Amino acid sequence: MTNNLAQNMGGEAPNYAAQPPSFDGVVPNLESQHQDKAYYVNSRANSSRGRCWRVADLVLRILAAALSLTAFATMASDSKSATEIDALGGVFRVNIKYSNFGTMKAVLAANVLVCAYSLAQTLGALVSIVAGHGLLPTPLSEYLSFSFDQFFAYLVLATSAAGAETVHLVNNGFGSVWLSLCKNTGLSGFCTIAAASVSMSFLTFVVVGMSAIESGYFLAKHISRS
């Protein structure tokens, strides 16, 4: 009957014995579900690692802000006065402050800029953790972070090195040309405070440098993906 029906319709009867029904349509669906599940697990892992990196970035930004704040606040408070007696028995008063030295003013200014920048980056890191995305588009944010991290790291390093040289000269003098202000007068506290400020500035460089390495890593990953 089936053959007669097929002939009447102008075709051939299907041979189910020779051509069993295909289940190809079922297998891809199972594979697709498995792939979707694996992708979900991997994306969860990537999200967890990304959150850890964002938290690490937040810690570095807060630390950089705290160190730079300490450095410039310490330098800004560095002002001492002392009463001295000259060789003829005359009494005179010696006043010294950080603003008498251009390199120390540079240390203060550099750390003010780094503190402001670090606070801005701290805000961005907080938004990234809470909202899951940054304030700026990802490519632009990575380029700007790497560029500014490099700039401020070199800036604070250069000013800290110059400030350290000035502290050394004020504390130890320069032969017979420049006598030690701190050892020959009652201004030893000035050199102590200046040295502490410069030390904090060097620590700021280390932390900002670590942030630059981190932002450079993420920028390299973005470039490799694009």
Domain residue extents for the chain: 52-225
Reported as a single tens digit per residue, the pLDDT across 73-120 is 999 998 776 555 454 455 556 678 888 899 999 999 999 999 999 999
Highest mean pLDDT (candidates 87-96, 181-190, 211-220): 211-220
* Greater model confidence, 5 or 44: 5
In this prediction, residue 177 carries a pLDDT of: 52
Reported as a single tens digit per residue, the pLDDT across 2-24 is 455 445 555 555 554 555 555 45
Sign of the dihedral defined by the CA atoms of residues 188, 192, 194, 195, in that order: positive
Question: Mean pLDDT, the chain, as a whole number?
Answer: 76
Share of the chain above pLDDT 90, in %: 36
In whole angstroms, give the CA distance from residue 22 to residue 20: 6
In this prediction, residue 6 carries a pLDDT of: 47
Mean pLDDT of 26-41: 44
Instruction: Give the end-to-end CA distance of the chain in Å, rounded to a whole number.
Output: 64
User: Is residue 39 classed exposed, middle or buried when 0-12, 13-18 and 19+ CB atoms within 10 A define those classes?
Assistant: exposed
Residue written as token pair 């790291």: 153
Share of the chain above pLDDT 70, in %: 62
In this prediction, residue 18 carries a pLDDT of: 52
Question: Is the pLDDT at 142 greater than 60, yes or no?
Answer: yes
Residue written as token pair 């020779």: 18
Q: Does the pTM of the predicted model rise above 0.85?
A: no
Q: Per residue in 143-172, is it b (16+ CB within 10 Å) or e — as a string? A: eebbebbbebbebbbebbebbbebbebbbe
- Give the model's confidence band at 171: pLDDT under 50 very low, under 70 low, under 90 confident, else very high: confident
